[in-house]
Structure 1
Amino acid sequence: MFDQFEGKWAVLYRVLGAAIRAILVVALIVMPSVLLPTVSGDGGQVIALVAMFAAALTFFEYVSAYPGLVEFRDAPPFNRIRFGSLFISILLLTVICRGINEPTVVSELVTSIGGLIGYVMDFPYSPVRLIVLALPYGTPPEMIALMRVAAGMSYLISLLSLCYFYVALRVGNWPSKNGLFNVWVNLPTFDPTAGGDVVARLTRDARINIVLGFLLPFVIPAVLHSATNIFGRFTVENYQSLIWTVAAWAFLPSSLFMRGIAMGRVADMISNKRRRTYADTDIDHQPA
């Protein structure tokens, strides 16, 4: 009877946790359209549809005990740090854009901090300089300044989240402190039976993700600049486009960095487990 009662509470906690995550995803997606004054009705409907789809995907992903699409689902705080980084970035960028038409003390403070960070990071060949140069020729100076402020703030948040994850990994001994690490659940897109040594493949994927994370801040501005010939000019007059573009530009590289570090950590765990197993086997087979 007690085991059944405990099992019901576990299911309830799983459903409640999935529902809270779905609500947070909805809040993230609709935040700019709710806080910004210039949003069309059609745009709001599209955003609401996307939010509902993302909420359903998140809910069914976390309410299920089987693997889906989300990596490191049962290895906190990996996804919590990534989501928190994106949420804070979208929130602060929305506050900055809202402060242009409706300035407040908070918006002025956030804009000042972003402007300082953007000015410090705006040196030749830096990611901030490149994303500013991705703006089309003839962009007004105030819009260039807005892009520099948004880029500086987003890039700072991404760097802080990356540092926080690295500290959590080292200090908290991630993910060992959470018990057994289930590769099938936490790495659903990684097939251990695909061939080759698992540790070598994880190490290779980790290095690829780290390299991509390093290159993306430089590649994305070039892609944006080249895409203007196909999709038209990239402008910052549309605040929602600015917010999501700059947030993705800063979030994706840090996310790949974190994924690479995490996969390297898993490879080290498997390698250490193998060495301990081989050592125990050698001890057992030694003559008495």
Structure 2
Amino acid sequence: MFVRMSGAALRGLLVALLIATPALMLRDVASDQSQIVVLVALLAAFLTFVEYNSNAPSIVEFRDAAPFNRLRFVTLFATLIVLTAISRGKVDPTSITQGLTALGTIVGNAIDFPFSPVRLIVLMLPYDARPGLITDVRTAAGMSYLISLVAMAWFVAMVRWGRWPIRHGSFNVWVNLPLFDPTAGGDVLFRLQRDARVNIALGFLLPFVIPAVVKATSDLVDPITLENPQTLIWTITAWAFLPASMIMRGIAMMRIASMIEEKRRRAYATAAEEGGFQTA
């Protein structure tokens, strides 16, 4: 019990640190923004502690299938730190921030071609956006997209060659997928494969759909402004991380479906052999 509680407390602390990272690293953060960040960080830490301190998960998927959630956490944390360091480098430049900015500029310019996600998020900006803001958005989008691609490639390698999720023991489908109702009707294998395909498809489409939706609704509602560094950091991070997380979830569910299919095939083969022996 103590081990579980201490692990849950550590995870809650890390989640709070993740949320507070941009406000801690940036300078000249308004007091009202700091208060909101502290409140959100404490709430997220409490929810994380409650979730991981319970015997069975209620919301978090793949809780016992390490390192799926750890990889997503590291990806989100790395994206926030890198984008915050680039933003901080504009007022307090260092060799690290300059190197990250140069890398982000190269990547952003490389994938800023017509109909690319980076081009669409740049076009999401108002027509009168200053050139410096356009460059900042392109650089941040390039870095965040690069980190997300590396994370997805790493997870695919873990699934393909790392024997995830059975490398460290057995895998309980119903414990690791608390939001998946096995009694909802239909074959479980078919539903897992369907949900996996839907997640992967949405993950590929979201980087294109989000800027288009924001641009289309800008005439009806006030569009978000990316002039504020924290708004820029969280917007670009969410734009890159959410699709990558959905694709990783889809790959994970497809892997679970393949495991169930393989287990069924072995069970059917064993039953057929036993039936053949009994008949003989």
1:18 corresponds to which letter in structure 2?
A: A
Unaligned 5+ runs, structure 2: none
Q: Which residue of 2 aligns with 1:4?
A: none
Query: 2:167 is paired with a residue of what secondary structure?
Result: helix
Aligned with 1:212 (options 202, 217, 234): 202
TM-score (norm 2): 0.97
1:35-62 Cα deviation digits (max 9, x unpaired) = 1112111111111111011001111111
Tell me the distance in 2 between the aligned counterparts of 1:34 and 1:85.
19
1:229 Cα deviation (Å)? 3.0
Aligned with 2:26 (options 36, 41, 44): 36
1:100 Cα deviation (Å)? 0.8
Unaligned 5+ runs, structure 1: 1-10
1:230 Cα deviation (Å)? 4.1
Two-structure CA RMSD over aligned residues (Å) = 1.1
Q: Contact between 1:213 and 1:254, CA under 8 Å: does it hold in 2?
A: yes
1:46 aligns with 2:36: yes
Q: Which residue of 1 aligns with 2:124?
A: 134
Q: Which residue of 2 aligns with 1:194?
A: 184
> What percent of counterpart residues are identical?
55
Question: How does 1:228-247 map onto structure 2 within 5 Å?
Answer: 228-247=218-237
Tell me the distance in 2 between the aligned counterparts of 1:232 and 1:34.
28
Aligned with 2:246 (options 250, 256, 264): 256
Tell me the distance in 2 between the aligned counterparts of 1:262 and 1:233.
35
1:233-262 Cα deviation digits (max 9, x unpaired) = 333210000000000000011101001000
Tell me the distance in 1 between the aligned counterparts of 2:217 and 2:53.
39
Query: 2:218 is paired with a residue of what secondary structure?
Result: helix
TM-score (norm 1): 0.94
1:108 aligns with 2:98: yes
Tell me the distance in 2 between the aligned counterparts of 1:237 and 1:203.
42
Q: Contact between 1:136 and 1:234, CA under 8 Å: does it hold in 2?
A: no
Tell me the distance in 2 between the aligned counterparts of 1:230 and 1:37.
33
Q: Contact between 2:22 and 2:80, CA under 8 Å: does it hold in 1?
A: yes
2:171 corresponds to which letter in structure 1?
A: F
Tell me the distance in 2 between the aligned counterparts of 1:106 and 1:236.
23
Q: Contact between 2:214 and 2:223, CA under 8 Å: does it hold in 1?
A: no
Question: How does 1:148-167 map onto structure 2 within 5 Å?
Answer: 148-167=138-157
Q: Contact between 2:71 and 2:151, CA under 8 Å: does it hold in 1?
A: yes
Aligned with 1:145 (options 117, 125, 135): 135
Tell which deviates more after alignment, 219-228 or 37-46.
219-228
1:169 corresponds to which letter in structure 2?
A: V
Q: Which residue of 2 aligns with 1:184?
A: 174
1:58 aligns with 2:52: no
